[in-house]
Amino acid sequence: MEEATGSDGHRRPSPADGISGGVQLFSGLVTGLLFAWMGSWFGLDRLIIQGIAEFTALDISSAGYYTLFAFVGLIGGLLGRN
């Protein structure tokens, strides 16, 4: 099956593009949270929280740690799109 192209020769977006993009973003978010959770088994959460406090004078909690990893995963999912 051929892809639909516009008059300029570029591929036209289809409704499925939005769905697959949303799935990639969601999977990136979940992957980031899983890495944060597994990292907390080895003390990575305390290391990251302490490092952020020392370098930026911001005091974050474990909720901030998980939010940081969720955003990193979300951005990774966004950049991983084709």
The values of phi and psi at residue 11, to 5°, are: -70, 135
73 domain-assigned: yes
62 domain-assigned: yes
Q: Which residue has the higher pLDDT, 28 or 18?
A: 28
- Give the range of the structural domain holding residue 63, as residue numbers without chain letter: 19-79
| Whole-number pLDDT of residue 22 | 72
Total domain count for the chain? Answer: 1
54 domain-assigned: yes
1 domain-assigned: no
pLDDT in tens, 44-71: 999 999 999 999 989 999 999 999 999 9
61 domain-assigned: yes
What are the b/e assignments for 53-80, b being 16+ CB within 10 Å? Answer: eeeeeeebeeeebbebbbebbbebbeee
The values of phi and psi at residue 81, to 5°, are: -70, 145
